[in-house]
Structure 1
Amino acid sequence: MRILQRTFVRVLALLLAVFAARSLSAAAPTVIGKTVENFQLSTHRGQPWELADTADQKLVALVFLGTECPLAKLYGPRLADLHKTYADQGVAFVGVNANAQDSITELTAYAQKHAIPFPLLKDPGNRVADQIGAERTPEVFLLDQDRKIRYHGRIDDQYGVGYSRDHAQRRDLAEAIQELLAGKQVSVPETAPIGCFIGRTRLTEPHGDITYTNQISRLFNQHCVECHRAGEIAPFPLTAYEDILGWEETILEVIDENRMPPWFANPQHGAFRNDTRLSAAEKTLLHQWVKNGMPEGDPDQLPAPPQFAAGWRMPEPDQVVAMRAEPYAVPAEGVVDYQYFLADPSWDEDKYIVAAEARPDNRAVVHHIIVYVVPPGSQDAKPRGRSILVGYAPGSQPMLLTDGVAVHVPAGCRLVFEVHYTPNGSPQADRSSVGFRFTTKDQVKKQLHGRLAVNTRFRIPPGAASHQVTAEYQSRQDEVLLEMTPHMHLRGKAFRYEAIYPSGQREILLDVPHYDFNWQLGYQLAEPKRLPQGTRIQCTAWFDNSEDNLVNPDPTAEVRWGDQSWEEMMIGFLSVVDPDPAPDAAADEPHPLQINPGADPVGVWRWKRDGAPHQLTLQLDDDKLSGVIEIVGRGKWSIQQAALADNQLTFQVVPPEFAGQVLLEFDAVVGAKTLQGNLKYSVRTTGQSRTLPWTAERAAD
């Protein structure tokens, strides 16, 4: 039985894992049993309110909330439901906002958006938060009739650092309320509150030479504002000095724990041009600035803000393809399974793509998009074995190809959008799309190819804490590696790419010791890596199916390959191009084709495979051998690179229905009445191949 169906992908510093309260410190004094003295505050509507007004209530739940904290947004509707459940049982709910950065207008908007039916109080100068000892939002203090704290901590355990369940396994606040109403002691009186730090009023007078305008703004522009700006997925902007006030403790926490910016590559192996990490010096600078009271500095020193396109970040698209005709409805909360949308771009001719961008329509709820190519004739909307064309995740860049590099997509192909939605506390709608720019075939010098090492036959035992699975890709020709993207699901623990060169030399290309499903990161090599023909890329993945994995859907299950995140995948994606030709390489002069009269391949040849009749027609035009293979019921395939040396015939076929990912290589001895040799079947994306015997007979005139 599955404990949960899936944990939805959550952006660390942008959504759930911006916050951290991993455990209650053993050294921290408990607040259980502490009496909360009467206090007076005003509601968001300006009405006076004091704790003494609740004297007729058996219990009072004080909940500290923030208007921009994603967890406070997600729990707004749930708190409203709890209020309705217990209001007639003598339980009062009261929200308290102590954030210096939250205005009354923003508090009012929060109340309206989430239909909050109980009072929301503004705590200027965080007086009440200091009196009670509140640190985060949301954070609950449940008071008995004597106004002593009987429960303190989280609302429930649905959300944690970097994970989210589809439902709570323990409803801590509700359990505490029910136990107290029944005259019992609270069985679990204290839990760790998970949420953003309260933005307290700072008492330190700003001082020092480190200022926002001179140093800190540049740091945020480089590392943060790509996502932390209006209209992007981050829960709050960081584009101005005022934006940072109140968030400094949360920012310091996530960078100290290396959760922000997200980056998981082991620095001992490889250098990557999209490395987002803050340096040790940058972290020290930020800490010192906060310690010095966060001086703003001289406005004249403020750098020009980075420029981001309001719409497309790629050049104006030649074509835009929407995922579907109508928007998809995203619920306010809960877990949304991966959604797959099949779209037809109406490509009636081969396309050569030089720029592509997957564009979320509603960035507030779209965590990531992957657009796959579906070969002609396929009706499967799932991306099994498909080639990835372009993707989107927070902070990702459009695909922009230069220097004559393009992606070739055969005519008749369609697209599958894989979209992962993250509810944000209110109902949303999304109609994401993808934009393309094209070039002509004569302008293409190289094609960008997708490769992968994949294992679909693994079985992860129940309770296994570090189960190893391997997969391998072997280059069938010289290639240049540009990027690597590991992919697993919720039990993914670690991932490694290792190159084994034809010489026997081994090199770790990428090591991810702490894989995080929350981020679908690609690692772009700072210097492209040449892979000689025969190089093996060995990918090793480790999976944690134990109870210690907090996002594990079910530690008692044996886990196999599957699309959904409660199942697993093991894929090492690679992006490659053909290498540049050697500077002294000269094109071979064509030689007249010499045909041995006893070994003339021209004509019609027939054979059967799997019961299906096949026919090869070869012809000679101007010393050039060409031909067509016809399979009954499947159509015709043109042969390529046909050559004849003495009586040895070779040629290739690239079946169009596989979007160029399958290569058939024929090699046969030409006899008077037979072609006898081998057929090598290769899957380009995986580097896997299989050789079969092949015999064809000349057709009678």
Structure 2
Amino acid sequence: MPLQALRLLLSVVVFLSIFTPAVKAAEGAAASVLAGARLDTELSDIHGKPHTLTEFASSRLLVVAFLGTECPLAKLYGPRLQELADEFESQGVTVIGVDANSQDTLADLTAYARRHKIEFPLLKDLTGDTAESLGATRTPEVFVLDEQRRVRYQGRVDDQYGVGYARSKPERRDLRDAIASLLTDEPVAVAKTEAVGCLIGRRRDADETSHVTFSNQVSRVLQTHCVECHREGEIGPFALENYDQASGWAEMIEEVVRTQRMPPWDAHSDNLEFANARVMPESDRQVLYDWVAAGAPQGDPAMLPPPREFVEGWRLPRDPDVVIPMSDKPFQVPAEGVVEYQYFAVDPGFTEDKWIAASDIVPGNRGVVHHVIAFISPPEGEGRRGLGWLSAYVPGQSSMLLADGRARLIPAGSKLIFQMHYTPTGSPQEDLTRIGLVFADPDAVTEEVVTLAALEEKFEIPPGARDYVVQTTKKHWPAGGKLLGMSPHMHVRGKSFRFDAVWPDGRREVLLDIPNYDFNWQNAYALAEPLELPPGFQLECTAHFDNSKHNLANPDPTAAVRWGDQTWEEMMIGFFEVAVPRGSYRAHRAEAPAGPTDEDRARAERIAKSLFERFDANLDGVIDRDELPSTFRVFAFGRYDRDNDRILTKDEVYEFALHSDGDV
């Protein structure tokens, strides 16, 4: 049967008893990858009509790629496999995709092919024998078979994408290199690599006598900890709302829970409790482990709890008073690669001060929005410098709801800045994110909520450094302030972050320790009870960075890394949500420039020197607006450029830095 005819079988061809290898010994590195194994293969479609691998007899090489329709990495690598299929088809190489997931249907496969523009044959392994025979465990995982249908390569496609990281381009193209070597009759240099991705959802013999079943316990654990994100239309890559969905992902659920990748929370404190903690008790973890060990039994459906109800639309106490889109047209997200941070400045048209009691950010496309931060950019002369934090979105956290009497202030004439971080998913997408605001009664506001920051811009992480430490301390706090929450910010080299309190009496305690920082989860840590900030209180921030090859998310272990807004650069910021008595914050800011210390002056000099070293490209002693990154132009240029001549002098940068006390 010719290849084009096979493509017509996209949704109907199934593998039943395929690839029964008889492994024979092989020397060298290839021995561990079934090199020399003979694969005699027989196919069958859903009507029982047999097929054999003789249908691919004209193919010099056969690439078998195990895929899953919901696995994020399989979505990214589907188009890559199609590119390889197109590149090598004329040289006698055939690529076929195999889906062995019990939870994926033929309709799912059809949709996957259409969405990702897959033209090579996609085949359904209904029994799981294919994956079992070849030893495939994850999606995507690929096998290259030679003319004798022996396995000559097994593993990943390349190293661009992995769990929790994405490089701008691959450093190793393992599958392509293996194909190229075999086509020139050369040995495969690396015959086996580790496949990274989702575990294949296999059918298993369930122990229905188990005391733990989906219906009586597991469904309740998933409702409590998982389905907020893992449901239709949300950011979770697959839904876990019913038995058919969850049972196919049982082993994957166990893996991510055991490794503490889920739920996404890894925070500790000496004495504080967090209002938004995503902690799964050990008893609930054990329920999941026992269920998987028993083969994921369903149990009696009559014991299922009612479906959990979620708020549809805005997560606000009432309809928003105003809805502000990030732009007048959607942003186009490419199918793959790394998308630089995008910034959108919007004028909401506020001609008077607005007090904000609640806000909610709703992504237009949750599948590609990694995180959003909305900032307030006040007008010149308002008395506030820099940007004011308004709200943020990360999966599972989107709304800001303040207690009665508290509100954020958006001064009249302010603009809103949307910082957007997008993650490609294997097919072109678009997004138009919006923010909804609920206004507070100005007469009822007694405390203003502001965002302060401790940051250190002056650092250079050496190439290969596995544990580089950067520290800074927040020493000055508004009078009468109360700490409401904290949030660290680093990029992909971030390793850990700790907030240590130093009380006026010298007592120390750990307020927040994040030993395994994960850039994919920009969590804010809201205190269950506000913490009073007495005079003399200090917060030390300690960040550790891993710029070595051991950090799989590291885009370039050979590069020295400095401060910058893009993910391949780094930041070191501790954010603090603070409530202050109404009217005191402007006074606090107005007093800040008076009496700078020697430490303040030294810091300002460092900032000015660093800025000019980085951006004064023509070394003329001034920085032109066009010499700066777009993010700096959007965020800060107008606040540094005090005389509005569209250039920055060292004196202007020094003066701004001298009187900026770390408030954001």
TM-score by length of 2: 0.80
**Aligned pairs for 1:120-519 within 5 A:** 120-266=122-268, 270-314=272-316, 315-377=318-380, 385-474=386-475, 475-519=477-521
Question: Measured at CA, do residues 234 and 47 of structure 1 come closer, stay the same or move farther in structure 2, by a change above 3 Å?
Answer: farther
Segment drifting more, 247-256 vs 46-55: 46-55
Counterpart position of 1:101: 103
2:514 alignment partner AA: V
Counterpart position of 1:530: 532
Q: CA deviation digits over 1:602-637, x for unaligned, max 9?
A: xxxxxxxxxxxxxxxxxxxxxxxxxxxxxxxxxxxx
Counterpart position of 1:37: 40
**Counterpart-to-counterpart distance in 2, 1:234 and 1:397:** 15
Counterpart position of 1:638: none
Segment drifting more, 473-482 vs 322-331: 473-482
**1:213–1:301 CA contact under 8 A, matched in 2:** yes
1:364 alignment partner AA: G
Offset, 1:258:
0.6
The percent identity for this pair of structures is: 49
Report which of the two has the higher share of helix: 2
**2:266–2:516 CA contact under 8 A, matched in 1:** yes
Offset, 1:328:
0.7
Segment drifting more, 175-184 vs 153-162: 153-162
Question: Measured at CA, do residues 46 and 437 of structure 1 come closer, stay the same or move farther in structure 2, by a change above 3 Å?
Answer: farther
**Counterpart-to-counterpart distance in 2, 1:548 and 1:211:** 39
**Aligned pairs for 1:650-669 within 5 A:** none
1:34 alignment partner AA: A
Query: Secondary structure of the equivalent of 1:202?
Result: coil
Offset, 1:377:
4.1
Offset, 1:173:
0.6
Offset, 1:494:
1.3
Query: Secondary structure of the equivalent of 1:108?
Result: helix
Q: CA deviation digits over 1:493-516, x for unaligned, max 9?
A: 111111111111111101111211
Offset, 1:220:
0.7
2:280 alignment partner AA: L
**Counterpart-to-counterpart distance in 2, 1:89 and 1:171:** 18
Counterpart position of 1:633: none
Q: CA deviation digits over 1:303-357, x for unaligned, max 9?
A: 2222222211112100000101011111111111100000011010001000101
2:87 alignment partner AA: T
Segment drifting more, 411-420 vs 552-561: 552-561
5+ long unaligned stretches in structure 1: 1-25, 581-656, 659-680, 688-701
Offset, 1:50:
2.4
Segment drifting more, 101-110 vs 50-59: 50-59
5+ long unaligned stretches in structure 2: 1-28, 583-637, 640-657
State the aligned residue count: 558
Offset, 1:540:
1.1
1:279 alignment partner AA: P
**1:329–1:427 CA contact under 8 A, matched in 2:** yes
Greater Rg over alpha carbons, structure: 1
**2:455–2:662 CA contact under 8 A, matched in 1:** no
**Counterpart-to-counterpart distance in 1, 2:364 and 2:40:** 49
Question: Measured at CA, do residues 359 and 516 of structure 1 come closer, stay the same or move farther in structure 2, by a change above 3 Å?
Answer: same
**Counterpart-to-counterpart distance in 1, 2:557 and 2:171:** 15
2:465 alignment partner AA: A
Offset, 1:558:
2.6
**Counterpart-to-counterpart distance in 1, 2:259 and 2:118:** 34
2:379 alignment partner AA: P
1:239 alignment partner AA: E
Counterpart position of 1:577: 579
**Counterpart-to-counterpart distance in 1, 2:64 and 2:486:** 48
**Counterpart-to-counterpart distance in 2, 1:233 and 1:447:** 32
**Counterpart-to-counterpart distance in 1, 2:128 and 2:548:** 42
1:134 alignment partner AA: A
**Counterpart-to-counterpart distance in 2, 1:509 and 1:354:** 27
**Counterpart-to-counterpart distance in 2, 1:313 and 1:481:** 24
**Counterpart-to-counterpart distance in 1, 2:510 and 2:158:** 42
**Aligned pairs for 1:61-80 within 5 A:** 61-80=63-82
**Counterpart-to-counterpart distance in 1, 2:268 and 2:484:** 18
Question: Measured at CA, do residues 291 and 464 of structure 1 come closer, stay the same or move farther in structure 2, by a change above 3 Å?
Answer: closer
Query: Secondary structure of the equivalent of 1:53?
Result: helix
2:123 alignment partner AA: L
**Aligned pairs for 1:618-629 within 5 A:** none
**2:362–2:398 CA contact under 8 A, matched in 1:** no
1:58 alignment partner AA: R
Q: CA deviation digits over 1:266-291, x for unaligned, max 9?
A: 36564322221222211111111122
**2:455–2:472 CA contact under 8 A, matched in 1:** yes
Q: CA deviation digits over 1:620-658, x for unaligned, max 9?
A: xxxxxxxxxxxxxxxxxxxxxxxxxxxxxxxxxxxxx98
**Aligned pairs for 1:531-680 within 5 A:** 531-578=533-580
Query: Secondary structure of the equivalent of 2:453?
Result: strand
**1:62–1:94 CA contact under 8 A, matched in 2:** yes
2:368 alignment partner AA: V
**Counterpart-to-counterpart distance in 2, 1:562 and 1:46:** 60
**Counterpart-to-counterpart distance in 1, 2:263 and 2:391:** 22
**2:138–2:198 CA contact under 8 A, matched in 1:** yes
Query: Secondary structure of the equivalent of 1:293?
Result: coil
Offset, 1:467:
1.7
Query: Secondary structure of the equivalent of 2:472?
Result: strand
Query: Secondary structure of the equivalent of 2:55?
Result: helix
**2:144–2:153 CA contact under 8 A, matched in 1:** yes
Counterpart position of 2:612: none
The two structures, once aligned, show a CA RMSD in angstroms of 2.3
**Counterpart-to-counterpart distance in 2, 1:242 and 1:138:** 22
Counterpart position of 1:602: none
**Counterpart-to-counterpart distance in 2, 1:384 and 1:67:** 48
Question: Measured at CA, do residues 29 and 349 of structure 1 come closer, stay the same or move farther in structure 2, by a change above 3 Å?
Answer: same
**Counterpart-to-counterpart distance in 2, 1:425 and 1:384:** 40
**Counterpart-to-counterpart distance in 2, 1:96 and 1:121:** 5
Q: CA deviation digits over 1:449-501, x for unaligned, max 9?
A: 21111111222223322221111212242322111100011221111111111
**Counterpart-to-counterpart distance in 2, 1:277 and 1:238:** 18
2:521 alignment partner AA: W
1:400 alignment partner AA: L
Counterpart position of 2:628: none
Offset, 1:126:
0.6
**1:479–1:533 CA contact under 8 A, matched in 2:** no
Q: CA deviation digits over 1:354-390, x for unaligned, max 9?
A: 0101110111111111000111149xxxx99422100
**1:241–1:296 CA contact under 8 A, matched in 2:** yes
